[in-house]
Structure 1
Amino acid sequence: MTTFNELQKKRRSIYQLGKNIDLNNDQLFELVKNTIKETPSPFNSQSVHAVLLTGDAHEKLWEMTLAELKKVVSSEEAFAETKNKVDNAFAAGYGTVLYFTDRKIVDGLKEQVPAYAHNFDDWAEEGMGIAIYAVWLALAEQGIGATLQHYNPLIDAGVQEAFNIPESWVLRGQMPFGSIENDAFEKTYLPDEDRFMRFN
């Protein structure tokens, strides 16, 4: 049986993805949905929302991303490098999970609990991080590779329009995933004494 720490080591950023995974779209949706449902959030606010893109929708996302990047990249050479990365590391995968924060929930909490109003933005980001990590671990457990990308806010308007996303949902990250076609880079660690302390 895989221990939690072994699963953590299995979860890596995979930049060469393919489409050869064992789960079907229904199983993937259940995995993403149920994993996020069981993650903690401040005041059980459940402000993390997600959209699963596969097939044509997945391809559409990365085509849209490239179109927006072409507008801001400094040169044709730079865009060629960017396109190569997007095509081979993200679009080549099986699908993408889009992560959103529902601002209506977060802003509502600020009104309901004004004593903590200054904390809710930070707490929403903590909830987002927990949810993203949980899904990443769940994918790793299934032998599926992934990375976390942040092309927001560059693609926010296009995503909202293309996939009919509610106005209050703010895009926070994109997780392309798929079969692992090449191993992750070696992971290095800072010295423990620079990161951890304990007192008895």
Structure 2
Amino acid sequence: MSKNYYEVMKIRRSMYALTRETTIEKERIKEVVEHSLNYTPSAFNSQSGRVVVLFGDDHDKFWEITKNSLISSQPEDRHNDTAQKIDNFKHSFGTALFFEDYDVVEGLQNQFPKAKDNFPLWSYQSSGMLQYNVWTSLAAEGLGASLQHYNEAVEEEVKKHYNLPSKWKLMAQMPFGKPAQEPGEKEIIKAEDKMKVFGLN
């Protein structure tokens, strides 16, 4: 990675115009995801995050499952728009599926009952950090991505098709690929409207 962390934070954007090309080898993408899994913070170092990386036909199949599931629950006049939207995600190089392992979460709830209600929240927070780390790391390698949430519509069929554990909870989906165009300018709210600092002087 040649760019520094602050530069990469700026170039990590939601990119929807992606191609089926990549800037790095599949093995490097695997390394990026593995590194994020190893070093993303989690409550009690539980490492409850799980990621499924899909390429080729497996990537295509996920988006076909998603499209069919959504269309089956929608009125017919929305089918074309839905199919076009999902086919746009399918027209990318690969997809990362983010899960949380609730065997781990529930184990911590049993081990620390006084903090029982906090563990699902901490799990969500850790998952968000994992998603950001993968996304930012892919951006550092020249890949674009976006974050999608078709969780409830596809979770059970996805776990069945890819033979995933029943206690894995689907959190998000991230199609990625070589960007087809640059994103527009990002509107930044003034810092003084978002941040307060005390004791600086």
1:57-76 CA-to-partner distances (Å, cap 9, x unmatched) read 00000011000011122333
Structure 2 equivalent of residue 112 of structure 1: 111
Aligned letter for 2:162? F
Q: 3-state SS of the aligned residue for 1:49?
A: strand
Distance 1:2 1:22 in 2: 15
Task: Name the structure 1 match of 2:157.
Answer: 158
Q: How does 1:51-70 map to 2 (within 5 A)?
A: 51-70=52-71
Counterpart check, 1:81 vs 2:75 = no
Partner of 1:135: 134
The whole-number CA distance in structure 2 between the counterparts of 1:121 and 1:195 is: 27
- The DSSP-based 3-state class of the residue aligned with 1:183 is coil
Residue segments in structure 2 that go unaligned for 5+ positions in a row:
none
TM-score of the superposed pair, with normalisation by structure 1? 0.95
Shift of 1:174: 0.4
Per-residue deviation, 1:14 = 0.5
Q: What does residue 97 of structure 1 align with?
A: 96
* Counterpart position of 1:44: 45
Matches of 1:80 and 1:17 in 2, distance apart? 20
Q: Tell me which residue corresponds to 1:18.
A: 19
C-alpha deviation, 1:190, in angstroms: 2.1
1:83–1:185 Cα change, 3 Å:
farther
Tell me the CA shift for residue 181 of structure 1. 0.3
Q: Normalised by the size of structure 2, how large is the TM-score?
A: 0.94
Query: Which SS does the other structure have where 1:17 is aligned?
Result: coil
Residues 171-186 of structure 1 aligned to structure 2 (within 5 Å): 171-186=170-185
Give the Cα–Cα distance (whole angstroms) in 2 for the partners of residues 199 and 33 of structure 1.
Answer: 39
SS in 1 for 2:50: strand
Say how many residue pairs are matched. 198
Give the aligned residue type for 2:58: A
Letter in 1 for 2:175: P
Cα separation, 2, equivalents of 1:4 and 1:26: 22
Supply the distance in 2 between the matched residues of 1:5 and 1:26 (Cα, whole angstroms): 25
d(CA) in 1 for partners of 2:20 and 2:194? 38
Cα deviation, residue 185, structure 1: 3.1
1:116-139 Cα shifts (integer Å, max 9, x gaps)? 112111110110011100000110
Q: Which runs of 5+ in 1 are unaligned?
A: none
Deviation at 1:191, TM superposition (A): 2.7
Deviant stretches of 4+, over 4 Å: none
The whole-number CA distance in structure 2 between the counterparts of 1:45 and 1:192 is 34
* Partner SS, residue 106 of structure 1: helix
Report the residue type matching 1:114 in the other structure: P
CA offsets 1:55-105 (integer angstroms, 9 cap, x no match): 0000000011000011122333x22112112112x1010000000000110
